[in-house]
Amino acid sequence: MGSAAKPHRDEWAAFTSAMLEVQEFVRAARQTPEKFPLFVADDRLEARFERPAPLPTAAVPLDAAVSELLGVLQAGYCNASHPNYHAYFAARPRLEAVLGDYLGEALNQTPAAWRAGPGATVIESEVLAWIADFIGFPRGPGRWPGGIVTGGGHLANLAALKLARDRALGEAIQAEGLRGAPEAAVYMSREGHFSIARALDILGHGRRALREIEVDDRGRMLPQALAEQIAADRRRGVVPLAVVAIAGTSGSGAVDPLEEIAAIAREHGAWFHVDGAAGAAMARLPGCAERFAGLAEADSVTLDPCKWLFAPYGIGVLLVRSGDVLLRAFPSASHYWEERGEPDLFAMGPYGSRQVRTLGLWLLFRSLGADGLRELLGELRRLTAYLADRVDKAAELELLHRPELAVCVLRARRPGDDEAATNHLNATIQRRLLESNRAFVTTLDWRGATYLRVGVNNYILTESDIDRLIDSVLAIVAEA
Ligand SMILES: Cc1ncc(COP(=O)(O)O)c(C=O)c1O
């Protein structure tokens, strides 16, 4: 018998010792992130990715396997813990959330079925309610929970469109498929997320069913253009399945005019979905809550806690007005499943068994409280404004527009440089910031112009980190 099959008491000793090693690595990475590269991918990693190592046959002690694993993570590492990690929306997760994930996985609880995790099911229900309360979305009537937990924004958006489709074309479509169904369309601004087009492909409507609506110069959907497009489609007999408004675009964090869009969706009988994967977390934040007026009227809202709710990657949430629509949308029965009338969440969403990802969020809400979470989010916005002010004051820098949430889009521009030279300069700045381990920002292509996109995602960020970022950008401009 190999060492891995030893009695469980030995298993615990091996785990504890390996855990110490893991813990020390995590401590160093999180407590002294500046000592780690912002991004590294050792040349050998790509070869290893394409030609994975052979299946190990002989046992090794767990400590040894852990050391090997940490070696790979160190050779290929994206330093989301670093204060100047400004890529996209997700950064350093809160440790409360990490702890909850560990607990759920170690005990292997699932919220999919009451009899496989009743406590986990209750916590998930509570977290969905707390997220709804946190963003000001009504806990609607009917079966609770009025929402589902998914693996991310993609799946939450997919589920939303499936609900919209069932309502617009009738639930018979679940059995019959799209055969004989009328042509249908979904409306979203051109700044919306590509997950919607992918969902339309998966649902069988095809990507062409997506109508991309024009935006204003701040990236917000133009309601008039939306109304005209829906009316033109309806004249041709096309059924408007859903209108998707974005609360926090992936590019610049813009929030569509939700109230006006809600009214247009309602007028045409279309499902009103708000994709607030990142932004919805700020919906009731003092200073920006008015931008989210109309969110409470949505038929569904996507919010990814792994973005601005500080959970680790891989959790999205879809909130709906009533759990009844979820029950009707995902019917399931099997001869191997004895139906006992228990609250089985697998019957309310597209997943079967799955990890419980809400224990950590429960700990986060319970320990920080909504006030504490809002304080963290408010600080992200305050620092974003500070960053924008610094850009405004620098002659060589300009903002795409004043930030709405916690994304700042800017670029450097030298007098006399044409558009191509300016684009090149900004791409160079992005690359040099990363190569010199000063900051990880991304580029954003805004109608052919290259900008620097700075996500202000990290709750340990300070003004001096932002000063360092701006000073580094200016130094690169001076030497480029
Ligand atoms: C607005 C928006 N919607 C949806 C998504 C998709 O989220 P995920 O990558 O978790 O599937 C993103 C990702 O950044 C997003 O910004």
Summarised one tens digit per residue, pLDDT across range 394-415 is 999 999 999 999 999 999 999 9
Q: What is the mean pLDDT of the chain?
A: 96
Tell me the pLDDT band of 166, cut-offs 50, 70 and 90.
very high
- Whether residue 245 has its Cβ less than 6 Å from ligand 1: no
Q: Is 452 in the pocket of ligand 1 (CB under 6 A)?
A: no
Please check the confidence at residue 8 and state whether its pLDDT lies above 80: no
Please give the CATH architecture assigned to the domain spanning 110-357.
Answer: 3-Layer(aba) Sandwich (3.40)
What atom of ligand 1 comes closest to residue 316's alpha carbon?
10
pLDDT interval class at 176 (50, 70, 90)? very high
What is the distance in A from the centroid of ligand 1 to the CA of 252? 13
pLDDT-derived band at 10, boundaries 50, 70, 90: confident
Asked whether residue 6 carries a pLDDT value surpassing 70, the answer given is no
Do domains 110-357 and 369-479 share one topology? The answer is no
- SS3 assignment for the chain: CCHHHCCHHHHHHHHHHHHHHHHHHHHHHHHCHHHCCCEEECHHHHHHHHCCCCCCCCCCCHHHHHHHHHHHHHHEEECCCCCCECCCCCCCCCHHHHHHHHHHHHHCCCCCCHHHCHHHHHHHHHHHHHHHHHHCCCCCCCCCCCEEEECCHHHHHHHHHHHHHHHHHCCCHHHHCCCCCCCEEEEEECCCCCHHHHHHHHCCCCHHHEEEECECCCCCECHHHHHHHHHHHHHCCCEEEEEEEEECCCCCCCECCHHHHHHHHHHCCCEEEEECCCHHHHCCCCCCHHHHCCHHHCCEEEECCCCCCCCCCCCEEEEECCHHHHHHHCCCCCCCCCCCCCCCHHHHCCCCCCCCCCHHHHHHHHHHHHHHHHHHHHHHHHHHHHHHHHHHHCCCEEECCCCCCCEEEEEECCCCCCHHHHHHHHHHHHHHHHHCCCCECEEEEECCEEEEEEECCCCCCCHHHHHHHHHHHHHHHHHC
Q: How far is the centre of ligand 1, averaged over its atoms, from the C-alpha of 247 (Å)?
A: 11
- What confidence tens digit (pLDDT) does each residue in 307-329 have? 999 999 999 999 999 999 999 99
Q: Is 195 in the pocket of ligand 1 (CB under 6 A)?
A: yes
At 7 the pLDDT is 66
**Band of pLDDT at residue 332, cut at 50, 70 and 90:** confident
Q: Which fold has domain 369-479?
A: Aspartate Aminotransferase, domain 1 (3.90.1150)
Q: Which residue's CA is the nearest one to ligand 1's atom 16? A: 250
| Residue nearest atom 4 in ligand 1 by C-alpha distance | 153
Distance in Å, CA 315 to ligand 1 centroid: 11
Mean pLDDT to the nearest integer, 282-298: 97
Distance (angstroms) between ligand 1 centre and the Cα of 407 equals: 15
Which of 154, 158, 302 best tests ligand 1's pocket when mutated (most atoms within 8 Å of CB)?
Answer: 154
Counting from 1 in the atom list of ligand 1, the atom nearest the Cα of 155 is 11
Q: What is the distance in A from the centroid of ligand 1 to the CA of 109? A: 27
User: How close is the Cα of 275 to the center of ligand 1, in Å?
Assistant: 8
- Is residue 286 scored above 70 in pLDDT? yes
Distance 68 CA to ligand 1 centre (A): 32
Instruction: Report whether residue 90 contacts ligand 1, using a CB cutoff of 6 Å.
Output: no
Query: Does the beta carbon of 153 sit less than 6 angstroms from any atom of ligand 1?
Result: yes
Q: What percentage of the chain has pLDDT greater than the value 90?
A: 95
Mutation to probe ligand 1, out of 188, 189, 190, 195 (largest number of atoms < 8 A from CB):
195
- pLDDT, tens digit, 9 for 90 and up, residues 413-470: 999 999 999 999 999 999 999 999 999 999 999 999 999 999 999 999 999 999 999 9
Query: Is the per-residue pLDDT at 4 higher than 80?
Result: no
361-389 confidence digits (pLDDT tens)? 999 999 999 999 999 999 999 999 999 99
> Is residue 83 predicted with pLDDT exceeding 50?
yes
What percent of the chain has pLDDT above 70? 98
Q: How far is the CA of 306 from the centre of ligand 1 (A)?
A: 10
Is residue 2 predicted with pLDDT exceeding 50? no
Please work out whether the CB of residue 304 comes within 6 Å of at least one atom of ligand 1.
Answer: yes
Residue boundaries of the structural domains of the chain: 3-79, 110-357, 369-479
**pLDDT of amino acid 140:** 84
Question: Does position 170 have pLDDT exceeding 50, yes or no?
Answer: yes
- Res 5 pLDDT > 70: no
pLDDT score of 149: 98
**Whole-number pLDDT of residue 333:** 83
Q: Ligand 1: which of 304, 308, 404 to mutate, most ligand atoms within 8 Å of CB?
A: 304
pTM, entire model: 0.97
Candidate of 88, 188, 193 to mutate for ligand 1, largest count of ligand atoms within 8 Å of Cβ: 193
